[in-house]
Structure 1
Amino acid sequence: MKTGEVRSILVVVTRQIGDVLLTTPLIAAAHERWPAARIDVLAFAGTGGMLHGNPAVSGVIEVPARLGWAGGWRLLKRLFRRYDLGLVAQPSDRAHLLALVAARVRSGLVPEEGGSNWWKKALLRHAVPIAGDRGEVHVVAEKMELLAPWVDPLPAPRVVPPAGGDLPADVQARLGPRPVVVHAPSMWAYKQWPLAQYRELVAGLLAAGHQVVLTGSGSARDQECVAALRDLGTAPALLDVSGRLDFTQVRTLLSRAALYIGPDTSVSHLAASVGVPVLAVFGPTNPQRWAPWPAQAQGDTRFARVVPIQQVGNVTLFQGSQDCVPCGRAGCDDHLHSRSECLESIPAQRVLQEALRRL
């Protein structure tokens, strides 16, 4: 396929919000290579907000995680052979099948081991093998490799945050010039740093005279986590904006912040992309694969597999010191509601000391 033949591109990234954000370096590189091409992104419903205002994205096609036969048929008819190039940024069977219907030439991620690999590789112009969560290559770098046949050398990846949105008037009025943003909730228990540690951290920041802004969604789990911290202070010293901001407004908040502290979650990836100093508390997850990608990363950006505290660019990452870290499992019992001893062992004072040093 010649450069001039690429007039339309479909990027398939049917996973979670953070995965969509971490696909933006691939999208930016494709736009730089084919500036006149239309680039659409196929994503799950509710995840496209991370692409708001992205200058390289022409359109976002959001689909339910469960399509059903009727919904699937309508989507296939909508996509059929509309695109010259399909970039499959997720290794799932469905992502590959959708790209097969939509684009005449495809480049895709394929697990190193998998029963469906044979047909995926047979249908791709370019296959990028991925090792999974115990591998050593960051997911951002893996996705960039999808362009290897057409872009040489590949540019340094840069995660593109969504455009900023206006904050609610009352939040704007109470927000200090350099707040510390603390995001306590994790979607799953096995990624949750204990709330007792968050309480000690927030109390220490407030005692040192720093304004703390609590973020989170309006979900029951997020609100339960934030509720455990609300009694530590009053506004404006402790400002709770959880459940009130969309991702464009969170991006604006982060651009005003002196520091961000949070777990292995999409908001931590967003904070890193904005450029604010980030303190990320990691548990079983492998940072070589999933650490927040630093803003303005240059050259070979690599995190160590396990170090109690490490810094790459504007990202400082904390881990437990157990021999099993990172296990790549869903906690000690390997299920979503499991505890993670490695997270429980990270003391609040270690994170607080680093936060105060930064501030």
Structure 2
Amino acid sequence: MKRILLIKPCCIGDVIFATPLLAALRRAYPNAHITWAVNTSIAPVLYEHPHLNAVLELGETANPAAPCRLLGFVRQIGRLGADAVFVPDRSRWYSLATRLARIPMRVGLNSGGRGFAYTHKAAVQPEAIRHEAEVYLDLARLLGIPTDGLWAFAPLSVQAAVQAERFLHEAHLAHGGYLVIHPGGGVNVGMRLIEKRWPAENFAALAERLAERLKAQIAVIGAASDREAVARFKAALKQPCLDWSERFSLAEIAALAVRAALYIGNDNGVGHLAAAAGAKVLMIFGPTDPRRYAPFVPPERARYAWRPIALPKGGVSGGAPRHFDWARDGVSVEEAFAIACALC
């Protein structure tokens, strides 16, 4: 293979889960030109990835379900002249688009027949509990490409690292002298599942206990969609905190998380980015299954807190379980504290 296209536009966590597949392809084809087609908003996560030659920013064509967008997407990927495409996605539209673009080798997931247009189909069993990254790696295994020893990886932006160092210096914060808390998440262009959010009051109680133990300051982050969770977190704290919400880019958050004593958040893309960049991460799970969606990094770098419960078959596509209640079904502050202490 000389020119390879990887299509995984959305969302942050899923893009991170596809990076082991990218690593497998680069290891198998060291001289190939590899392009990743991704949502424009997520593209910066991949800009400096050492296994990529190019990033194709999709803009409005990232969701090619509408006929005009489908044709635009086909034109975009067709111009690349790829001789092989890998699609770790369950979309029928990406399957169709790769055929219309006349890419000779088309390798993709086949869930419910949606991979009908691929030349090489990896069957997906929705009820099988497997990590999403392993499902994506099946595309490499179809071709006999080894997948051993691969983890998710997101390179730190050089510019973001410099900016993080400058910010920490000006704020008189030492490496390991602060905790990064993200009480929000669960909202992206593909899905809204705010049931994934552990109560903000729990985050506050956990942060205070860890801050006392580690002699660290508390910093909270969040996007505009996290404003309510951030406000509740700050209101529940009995001590001041550093409010970093809506202040930094994804790359800068990753750089700050890597320099923190610990990053703590819900099952969301920012946490997966932080873990893949090298931060120590504690991820809180409730109505989603960490056996499918935990950070795909070495266990000494990331842990999850979860009480096993019955969940919808097929993963997050089934939504949150009915009547899920964090107080009854979720992990306690004490349980999360014990796991956090094992990390730091």
TM-score using structure 1 length = 0.81
Comparing 31-40 with 202-211, greater Cα deviation is found at 202-211
Distance 2:208 2:144 in 1: 49
Distance 2:153 2:328 in 1: 29
Distance 1:8 1:315 in 2: 34
Match of 2:40 among 38, 41, 45: 45
Match of 1:140 among 133, 140, 145: 133
Contact 1:205 / 1:212 at 8 angstroms: preserved in 2?
Answer: no
Query: Superposition pairs for residues 198-217 of structure 1, below 5 Å?
Result: 198-208=203-213, 209-217=215-223
Match of 1:251 among 226, 237, 254: 254
Query: Is the aligned partner of 1:223 residue 2:222?
Result: no
TM-fit CA distance, 1:340: 4.0
Distance 1:272 1:240 in 2: 21
TM-fit CA distance, 1:192: 0.8
TM-fit CA distance, 1:171: 4.6
TM-fit CA distance, 1:321: 4.8
Match of 2:270 among 267, 276, 297: 267
Comparing 168-177 with 29-38, greater Cα deviation is found at 168-177
Task: Give the structure 1 partner of residue 92 of structure 2.
Answer: 93
Query: Is the aligned partner of 1:7 residue 2:2?
Result: yes
TM-fit CA distance, 1:145: 1.9
Over 3 Å counting, the alpha-carbon distance change for 1:326 and 1:293 in structure 2 is farther
Contact 2:8 / 2:38 at 8 angstroms: preserved in 1?
Answer: yes
* Cα offsets for 1:307-355 (capped at 9, x unmatched): xxxxx34222211254x2576442233xxxx854478632112212333
Please tell me the root mean square deviation across aligned C-alpha atoms, in Å: 2.5
Distance 2:26 2:262 in 1: 31
Over 3 Å counting, the alpha-carbon distance change for 1:41 and 1:342 in structure 2 is farther
Match of 2:123 among 115, 129, 143: 129
Distance 1:73 1:355 in 2: 48
Distance 1:100 1:313 in 2: 42
TM-fit CA distance, 1:233: 6.5
Contact 2:86 / 2:139 at 8 angstroms: preserved in 1?
Answer: yes
Task: Give the structure 1 partner of residue 331 of structure 2.
Answer: 346
Task: Give the structure 2 partner of residue 331 of structure 1.
Answer: 320
Distance 2:55 2:46 in 1: 8
SS, match of residue 83 in structure 2: strand
Distance 1:150 1:162 in 2: 27
Distance 2:331 2:304 in 1: 11
1:186 maps to a residue whose letter is: G
* Cα offsets for 1:166-205 (capped at 9, x unmatched): 3364454223220222111022321010112112112323
1:346 maps to a residue whose letter is: V
Over 3 Å counting, the alpha-carbon distance change for 1:56 and 1:358 in structure 2 is closer
Match of 2:20 among 1, 16, 25: 25
Distance 1:43 1:16 in 2: 9
2:170 maps to a residue whose letter is: A
Contact 1:91 / 1:109 at 8 angstroms: preserved in 2?
Answer: yes
Distance 1:181 1:207 in 2: 14
Task: Give the structure 1 partner of residue 108 of structure 2.
Answer: 108
SS, match of residue 269 in structure 1: helix
2:290 maps to a residue whose letter is: P
SS, match of residue 106 in structure 2: strand
Match of 1:173 among 170, 174, 181: 170
Identity of aligned residues (%): 25
Over 3 Å counting, the alpha-carbon distance change for 1:152 and 1:244 in structure 2 is same
Distance 1:144 1:357 in 2: 30
1:142 maps to a residue whose letter is: V
TM-fit CA distance, 1:72: 3.1
Match of 1:161 among 130, 141, 154: 154
Q: How many residues in Structure 1 have an aligned counterpart in Structure 2?
A: 322
TM-score using structure 2 length = 0.84
Over 3 Å counting, the alpha-carbon distance change for 1:150 and 1:264 in structure 2 is same
Query: Is the aligned partner of 1:288 residue 2:277?
Result: no
Distance 1:279 1:250 in 2: 16
TM-fit CA distance, 1:53: 0.4
Distance 1:253 1:326 in 2: 35
Contact 2:302 / 2:343 at 8 angstroms: preserved in 1?
Answer: no
The answer for unaligned runs of 5 or more in structure 1 is 1-5, 296-311
SS, match of residue 295 in structure 2: coil
Contact 1:13 / 1:95 at 8 angstroms: preserved in 2?
Answer: no
Contact 1:49 / 1:162 at 8 angstroms: preserved in 2?
Answer: no
Distance 1:180 1:326 in 2: 33
Contact 1:282 / 1:343 at 8 angstroms: preserved in 2?
Answer: no
